[in-house]
Amino acid sequence: MRANQLRLWFAAMAYVLICAMRRIALADTAFANATCGTIRLKFLKIGALVRISVRRIKIAMASACPAAEHWGRAARRLANAAKARAAPV
Q: Which residue has better confidence, 66 or 8?
A: 8
Q: Report pLDDT digits (tens) over 9-41.
A: 999 999 999 998 899 998 888 888 888 888 888
Q: Categorize the per-residue pLDDT at 67 as very low, low, confident or very high, splitting at 50, 70 and 90.
A: confident
Q: Name the residue range of residue 51's domain.
A: 2-86
Q: Report pLDDT digits (tens) over 75-89.
A: 899 899 988 888 776
Give pLDDT, residue 89: 66
- What phi and psi, each to the nearest 5 degrees, are found at residue 82? -65, -40
Strands 57-61 and 48-52: antiparallel
Q: Which amino acid is at 73?
A: R
pLDDT at 51 exceeding the cut of 90: yes
Number of structural domains in the chain: 1
Question: What contacts 67, CB < 8 A, 6 or more positions away?
Answer: 42, 43, 46
pTM exceeding the 0.85 threshold for the entire prediction: no
